[in-house]
Chain A
Amino acid sequence: DAMVIQNPRYQVTQFGKPVTLSCSQTLNHNVMYWYQQKSSQAPKLLFHYYDKDFNNEADTPDNFQSRRPNTSFCFLDIRSPGLGDAAMYLCATSRGGAGGGYNEQFFGPGTRLTVL
């Protein structure tokens, strides 16, 4: 089945130690998103890629970076994790093209990040 895969499901890192979360998709979708969700809060969009075009949200800290080496893969790099970065990180994809914002998003199961 076509799907969005996130690895690992649980990640533990130390304060200040760089960490990378990965996302892959078999849907061949143009758009890939990264969301951060802290406990009981709304998922917050960090950035998205439309093909190779990177779109950062204005309030996303510089500590968060992303790479999309090809259509299928997208990575979230946290350069110096702080305690406040502990959260669930969700990856999602959608079709692009006309009416792109209309298209439903397909989510991975998320990676829960713990910062010690």
Chain B
Amino acid sequence: ILNVEQSPQSLHVQEGDSTNFTCSFPSSNFYALHWYRWETAKSPEALFVMTLNGDEKKKGRISATLNTKEGYSYLYIKGSQPEDSATYLCASTNTGGFKTIFGAGTRLFVKA
């Protein structure tokens, strides 16, 4: 994998549903994996930064895991709320530099 790929491209869920997205990234020269949330008309906001294989991070109802050996990360949202509606961007930074490659994002729509 040369690029950062996210799936699904978009997701529609009902309020209260739990959901998860996938981010695949190049495992060679890996340094850090970032998740951002981008609400419409606002600035992308950092959720998590992970560096170590097996890392798990949690913030409220949102959590993320990291597998650097196989090059993927999952983002989980438990009990989705309408305010969770946003685009979730994943980004990978390689070793030794500031080059960060973003995925195209997963667009989440949560219906009340």
Q: Which residues of A line the B interface, CB within 8 A?
A: 4, 31, 33, 35, 40-45, 48, 50, 55, 57, 90, 92, 94, 100-110
Contact with A along B10-32 (1 / 0, CB 8 A): 00000000000000000000011
In the bound complex, residues from chain B placing their C-beta under 8 Å from that of A105 are: 34, 46, 100
Expressed in whole angstroms, the Cα–Cα distance for A107 and B51 within the complex equals 21
B33-50: contact bitstring with A at CB < 8 Å (1 yes, 0 no)? 010100001111110010
Cβ contacts under 8 Å, B7 to chain A:
none
- Least Cβ–Cβ distance between B38 and chain A, in angstroms: 8
**Chain B interface helix/strand/loop/mixed:** loop
Interface size of B by CB at 8 A reads: 29
User: How long is the Cα–Cα vector from A50 to B9 in the complex, in angstroms?
Assistant: 33
CB-CB nearest in chain A for B104: A42
Determine whether the beta carbon of A104 is less than 8 Å from that of B46: yes
Complex alpha-carbon distance, A104 and B103, angstroms: 16
Chain A positions within 8 Å of B44 at CB level: 90, 92, 107
The answer to whether A102 touches B46, judged by C-beta atoms less than 8 angstroms apart, is: no
Residues of chain A with a CB closer than 8 A to B31's CB? 101-102
Give the contacting residue for B93; candidates A35, A40, A42, A102; CB below 8 A.
A102
Contacts A105-B46, A109-B43, A110-B43 given; does A42 touch B102 at CB 8 Å: yes
Q: Is there an interface contact between B46 and A106, defined as CB atoms closer than 8 Å? A: yes
Given contacts A104-B34, A109-B41, contact A45 B100 (CB under 8 A): yes
Cα A110 to Cα B44 with chains together (Å)? 9
The 4 lowest CB-CB distance pairs between A and B, nearest first, are A104-B46, A101-B93, A107-B44, A42-B102
